[in-house]
Amino acid sequence: MVSEQRYAVGRAYRDGALICGRVHVKIGRDDRLGLAPHERRRYVAARFLDRVHPDLRAELAELARRRGAAARRAAERIEPIVVVIDDPCLGRERLVGRIEPPQARLCLGALGDIEFGLREPS
């Protein structure tokens, strides 16, 4: 259960180059009772919307098509990305992570409708 969530809009970069002009980011924290501070995790999910680089588009499409272990192997082949969020209240935030397979599978719909996990380094 994710107890607190916030939403933001950012941009995605890889090796200093812009690979997606608009990324919707959902950030949540697992604050269930009984969890020790080191067990609490931050959950980050991203939807890639505008000006998606063709290489990233192909990687995301492949990841969305796969299931189970094949999806996890495909995700490991994708290079990490950096998502930069400019929040007027919180300032600039930089999230570095690996794209994970989507939790919910959509049979139809645009790639921008699919929410991918973003696993931050521990």
Quick: pLDDT tens for 72-93.
Answer: 998 999 999 999 998 888 789 9
Q: What is the pTM of this model?
A: 0.80
Report the C-alpha gap between 67 and 85 in whole angstroms: 30
Q: Cα–Cα distance between 100 and 72 in angstroms, integer?
A: 7
Q: Report the distance separating Cα 10 and Cα 106, nearest Å.
A: 23
- pLDDT, tens digit, for every residue of 17-73? 999 999 999 988 766 666 666 556 678 899 999 889 999 999 998 888 888 888 899
